[in-house]
Amino acid sequence: MSNQELAARIIELIGGNSNISRAAHCMTRLRLNLHNNDLIQLKEIESLKGVLGAQMQNQQLQIIIGPQVGSLYNEIATQANINPAADGPKNNQKLFTRFLDILSGIFLPVIPAIAGAGMLKAIIALLKAANLVQVDGYTFQLFNMMADCIFYFLPFFLAVSSAKIFKTNATLAVALAAAILHPTFTAFVSAGDVTAIEFFGLPVRLVNYSYSVIPIVLSVWILSYVYRFVDKHMPNILKVIFTPTVVLLIMVPLELIVLGPLGSYAGSALTSFITYLFSVNAFIAGFVMSLIRPLTVMTGMHQGFTPVVFQNLAELGYDMLLPTMMMSTMAQFGATAAMYFRVRNREKKSLIVSASFSAIMGITEPALYGVLISYKKAFFAACLGGALGGGYISMTHFHLLSFASSSIVSLPLYFQSNVSNVLIAIAISIVSAFVLTLVLEKTDAAADNSASCGFPDTPQASTDTFPADTAAPLLHSAVISAPVSGRITPLSQVPDNTFASGILGDGFAIVPADGTIHAPVDGTVTALYSSKHAIGITSPDGLEVLVHIGLNTVQLEGRYFEAYVKSGDKVKKGQKLITFDLSSIQKEYNPITPVLVLNSNKKLDFLKEMNESVTANTDVLQVGFE
């Protein structure tokens, strides 16, 4: 399927052009904010050729494409008439989410140039190791210049991408970068004996802004406000000449006197904090950073570490975070590769092979979303394996002297020093994750995939279905009623891959019309989460039912919820279990409520039509179970 065809199908399956409020992409994921998430046909999107997976995260649709996502995004932007430069964060987004989106928007367009420069540095390292070039010769110096120019002039690249994100004049943003890297200013900095210079009596702090991140981003952000203000009040006949003139007269001195030094101080403080953590206990710091790496990727929070890496390189000349990221990547490869020996389905094996290759090449999303998220023990093994490798490499005080992707092809940069410890750390990460996965995970038929909600270990629902003319070997059957009034919807239309894919079990979902949850069956409360967003009930004959109120509502930590039962209580069908503030919750989260049968053999008979409105305690589903 061509990018043009795939873009057209995705737009169709998300409700059309008019449903798109914002579009962006990262290295592997297409990120779409939509006006109405109920229009998303998630299962159909996941089944498209060229789509590795799809999920909702923080009310954002993330479609996992791979490294070629940029081409697809451009096609979608063309077909949907999206202006990327004008597509900034919306005010109704959470502040932290907006911050991550801004970082992503600023750094991701620059990553290809940085990755290319990193590979050039890897080639230089190989040439040096093989004694193929003279370090003091012109060839080496020019080659090194090719690799270093991206990093030295990083403020120029960030100025362009920042201007797009902050929706301001790109040429003026580049002018700000030029001001802090102009030969005259850099000469003042290099002089050494010049402690301070003045501009109309105002002191200018001498800072080396090459390789820097925060000063130019901060300056372009302020530029966006200054430019809009000046342009708004400037007469139209004078705008072409005098708007940029006034803006430069304001911004360049402001940048040199206030914003640049302020950004430099902030960057130095950030670097000092990270350095302090690693100096206190390098093993624990590396262990924790690698341990949480997969979680930060899944939530998009990994973008927050990008400026820290560049600030470390600018301030210290080396970085200690990239090695921990590398070990996490290697561990995800190890855990994913191990699952090849724990699944039987040929299609899954093929996916695992592809995801493993992507992971070792530094693209972990296919492994995370296509494999590890479905097997909680393998996911745990990947986290722990990476943590052990990250702790070890940090304990050896290994530092990376240049930016490098977390990929096997970046090894030449790692091999410039301390080669044995690098190899040991990689081996620890891969082997420990691989072995832990083999030990913890059973064969696919018995894999425990209940990680999403933390429900106690239960057998996974079988994917077998019985032909219409064959009697199913049922031991029990039961009727499940609606736990809340509202509209019944197929589980496949729940905008969350964990529920929609049937990983946890079969069932249905309800778009609630009120805020009272009733017991769908007689039984015992076997799981009630401290956040009160989900409750599990086991009937006397062993049927296990999970009611999950809303998507991602665990983040509310119990706010808006009140429970009337506790774990271990006996309940009767129709008994009030939980109340929640529907109006408050739906302002922040999708309140759709999945009702799952965790030990069904897929012999289900629906007693009500899908999309039908029902009241609480109405019988909805007859289920056979073993």
487 and 595 in a single domain? The answer is yes
* Pair of tokens at residue 339: 């699952």
Would you state the structure tokens that stand for residue 514, as one six-digit string? 């009120």
For residue 201, the one-letter residue type is: G
Q: Are residues 539 and 567 in the same domain?
A: yes
Give the end of a domain, one of 206, 239, 272. Answer: 272
Summarised one tens digit per residue, pLDDT across range 460-472 is 333 333 333 333 3
Residue 120 covered by a domain:
no
Q: How many structural domains is the chain composed of?
A: 4
> How many Å separate Cα 494 from the centre of its chain?
20
Residue pair 383/415 in contact (Cβ under 8 Å)? The answer is no
Question: Do 350 and 499 belong together in one domain?
Answer: no
List beta partners, residue 197.
204
Strand-strand pairing, 570-571 and 613-614: unpaired
Question: What CATH number should be reported for the domain holding residue 486?
Answer: 2.70.70.10
Catalytic residue positions, numbered: 26
- 296 near 302, Cβ under 8 Å? yes
Half-sphere exposure at residue 299, Cβ-oriented, CA atoms within 13 angstroms: 15
Same domain flag for 437 and 364: yes
Which DSSP string corresponds to 451-477? TTTTPPP-PPPP-----TTS----SEE
Q: Is the domain of 491 the same as that of 435?
A: no
Last residue of a domain, which of 272, 292, 316? 272
Task: Give SS3 for 21.
Answer: strand
Query: Which two structure tokens, joined as six digits, stand for 609?
Result: 């039509």
Kind plus residue range of the DSSP H or E element containing 220 = helix 214-233
Under DSSP, is residue 427 helix (H, G, I), strand (E, B) or coil? Answer: helix
Per the DSSP assignment, residues forming a β-bridge with 63 are 30, 54
Rounded Cα distance, 161 and 174, in Å? 10
Residues 6+ apart with CB under 8 A from 149: 117
Rounded distance between C-alpha atoms, residue 526 and residue 455, angstroms? 9
Read off the pTM. Answer: 0.51
Three-state helix/strand/coil letters over 341-385:
CCCCCHHHHHHHHHHHHHHHCCCCHHHHHHCHHHCHHHHHHHHHH
- Residues 338, 420, single domain; the answer is yes
With tokens 């940069």, the residue in question is 413
Whether residue 429 lies inside any domain: the answer is yes
476: helix, strand or coil: strand
The owner of tokens 């056979």 is 624
- Kindly give the pairing relationship between strand 613-614 and strand 486-490: antiparallel
Look at residue 250 and tell me if it is in a domain. Answer: yes
Residue 132: count of CB within 10 angstroms of its CB: 10
Q: Which two tokens stand for residue 179?
A: 């001001």
Indicate whether 295 and 263 sit together in one domain: no
Choosing from 69, 87, 105, the residue where a domain stops is: 87
For residue 223, give the amino acid letter: L
Question: What distance in Å separates the CA atoms of residue 327 and residue 305, rounded to the nearest whole number?
Answer: 16
Distances from the Cα of 260 to the Cα of 55, 312, 364, 531, 550, angstroms = 40, 17, 36, 44, 45
The answer to whether residues 528 and 564 belong to one domain is yes
pLDDT recorded at residue 78: 83
Of 313, 314, 315, give the one whose Cα is nearest residue 323: 313
Length of the chain, in residues? 626
Spatial separation of the C-alpha atoms in residues 406 and 255, rounded to whole Å = 34
What totals of helices (H) and strands (E) does the chain contain, helices first?
22, 20
Cα 36 from Cα 497, distance rounded (Å): 17
Same domain, 587 and 530: yes
Please report, as a single letter, which amino acid is at residue 574: G
The answer as to whether 114 is a domain residue is no
The enclosing domain of 55 has a CATH number of 3.30.1360.60
**119 found inside a domain:** no
Please name which of 165, 164, 258, 158 lies closest in space to residue 212, comparing C-alpha atoms.
Answer: 158
- With contact defined as beta carbons under 8 Å apart, do 228 and 88 qualify? no
Boundaries of domain holding 420: 281-446
Structural domain includes residue 124: no
Both 596 and 483 in one domain: the answer is yes
Q: Tell me which residues of the chain have a pLDDT lower than 50.
A: 84-93, 445-475
Strands 534-538 and 516-518: unpaired
Nearest by Cα to 135 from 146, 125, 149: 125
Same domain, 240 and 335: no
Same structural domain, 296 and 429: yes
* CA contacts within 13 A on the Cβ side of 30: 30
Q: Are 538 and 524 in contact (CB under 8 A)?
A: yes
Q: Are 63 and 32 in contact (CB under 8 A)?
A: yes
Domain annotation covers residue 168: yes
The reply to whether 215 falls in a domain is: yes
Closest among 295, 274, 273, 297 to 286, alpha carbons compared: 274
